[in-house]
Amino acid sequence: MDADAFGRALEGAGFNLLVPEIERAMRFQSKVLGARVAYADPDFAVVEGAGGRWLFHADHTYRDHPVYGIVTQLEGRGAGVELRLYHTDPDDAERRARALGYTVLAGSADKPHGLRECYLLDDDGYLWVPSIPLPE
């Protein structure tokens, strides 16, 4: 992947997650969330799903970055952040997460804000919330 061309083509809002191992993170993305891994190598990955695109960088790629010391000392990452994937079936994601041994913080439930959602933790401690709109 041409990093320069890719970076210049990015638009809108996005997020980048730092992880110890790209391959391990991609397993959760594809097998639990049903997202498509558009690109992955040991340093970097691009994932697409729920109408969006998000990025991953391996910790070692940030060795010279000011955030490196903070991130590598954390036991769980993403504390206080919910990574929400709208129009992603929470029941399917929950079932896959349980089958693969991931932590289900809260099972699929209908919420008063009009969504059915569940709360799933990946291996790195990021909290993912797949959801679908409730019928009217």
Mean pLDDT by 10 residues, the chain (136 residues): 84 88 98 98 97 95 87 78 96 99 98 97 95 95
CATH of 3-133, one of 3.40.50.300, 3.10.180.10, 3.40.630.10, 1.10.472.50: 3.10.180.10
Helix (H/G/I), strand (E/B), else coil: 104:
strand
Which residue, among 95, 74, 84, 71, has the nearest Cα to 117 in the 3D structure? 84
CA nearest 128: which of 80, 86, 85, 89? 85
Whole-number pLDDT of residue 56: 97
Residue reference for tokens 């991953």? 56
Q: Which residues of 41-70 are buried (b: 16+ CB within 10 A; e: fewer)?
A: eeebbbbebbeebbbbbbbeebeeeeeeee
Closest to 62 measured CA to CA, from 44, 80, 83: 44
Domain residue extents for the chain: 3-133
